[in-house]
Amino acid sequence: AQRVTQPEKLLSVFKGAPVELKCNYSYSGSPELFWYVQYSRQRLQLLLRHISRESIKGFTADLNKGETSFHLKKPFAQEEDSAMYYCALRGGSGTYKYIFGTGTRLKVLA
């Protein structure tokens, strides 16, 4: 079964501090992993995907198949990073179920 776990509901860090939002997944095949973000009063939107292996707004995420993790990291948090972050997994095998975690609220304190 597909499952995405985000263990932290809330993460508070000070501006300039490093950030790591945790995401663990369960999937028997080769999944695609994504991070979505929802800023205040905005729609949920894609932040990055593991296939792209890119850095968006200073955030990176590496897929670790051994630990079944896809943690989101940023070396220096900014106040504008405060938002709700969701980790998502899309399976394959013709089903393309797109499963989201429960989300982590990131608060960056001045």
Q: Which residues bind another protein (CB under 8 A)?
A: 4, 6, 9, 32, 34, 36, 43-46, 49, 51, 86, 90, 95-103
- Shortest separation between residue 78's beta carbon and another protein, angstroms: 24
* Min separation Cβ 93 and another protein, Å: 10
Phi first, then psi, for residue 92 (nearest 5°) are: -130, -130
Residue (49 or 74) nearer to another protein, CB: 49
**Residue 89 C-beta: closest distance to another protein, Å:** 10
Of 34, 54, 36, 53, give the one whose Cα is nearest residue 45: 36
* Cα 54 to Cα 103: distance, rounded to the nearest angstrom: 21
By beta-carbon proximity to another protein, the closer residue of 45 and 78 is 45
Q: How far is the CB of 16 from another protein (least distance, A)?
A: 29
Residue with tokens 């980790």: 87
Comparing CB distances to another protein, the nearer of 28 and 95 is 95
Can you read off the two tokens belonging to residue 64?
Answer: 């670790």
CB nearer another protein, residue 72 or residue 101: 101
Look at the block and give the residue holding tokens 């990291």: 73
Among candidates 3, 1, 14, 27, which has minimal Cα distance to 100?
3
